[in-house]
Amino acid sequence: MNERFIIDYQSPIGLIEITGSKVGVYSVLFTEKDSLQFPITENIPKPLTDCYEQLDNYFKGELDTFTFPYIMEGTDFQKNVWTALMDIAYGKTGSYKEIAVNIGNEKAIRAVGSANGKNKLCVVIPCHRIIGSNGSLTGYAGGLWRKEWLLEHERKKNIPKL
């Protein structure tokens, strides 16, 4: 089995723990640790350092699509939901119902919500772009305040320049 490594990224909205191997990144999750515990070193595999750099560019407003290798760990249904989340454009939002329809199972709204909540690649697989069908913010593992920040961050970049 691939050895797993952990590095931390200090984002404007809290510490993010990146877990991965030489093959790819397994998780990108907000953490409540007080300080960086795993600074980047020369021993960290390229997928993790690429993730770190791309997160940095995302938070600087310079990147809207992640290209580092990542590995989705979950059921086939969860992977289908997470793949469908990738179709929600940067700066846009969608609903659980829209995702359910997109995966061909329009009655699976609650299951889509559950799968969304189990996404281990926060920000990268944009579960933060899911809002209630009435336009309200819905649950987010990183906290609703972070979800609101991420949506506003993406909206600002999408404002047409005059």
Catalytic residues: 127
Q: Are 51 and 25 in contact (CB under 8 A)?
A: yes
Q: Is 50 left (phi over 0), alpha (psi -120 to 50) or beta?
A: alpha
Q: Is 21 helix (H, G, I), strand (E, B) or coil?
A: coil
| 2 Cβ contact partners less than 8 Å away, ≥ 6 residues apart | 21, 22, 23
Q: What distance in Å separates the CA atoms of residue 53 and residue 158, rounded to the nearest whole number?
A: 21
Least Cα distance to 28 among 99, 127, 111, 154 occurs for 127
Spatial separation of the C-alpha atoms in residues 119 and 97, rounded to whole Å: 17
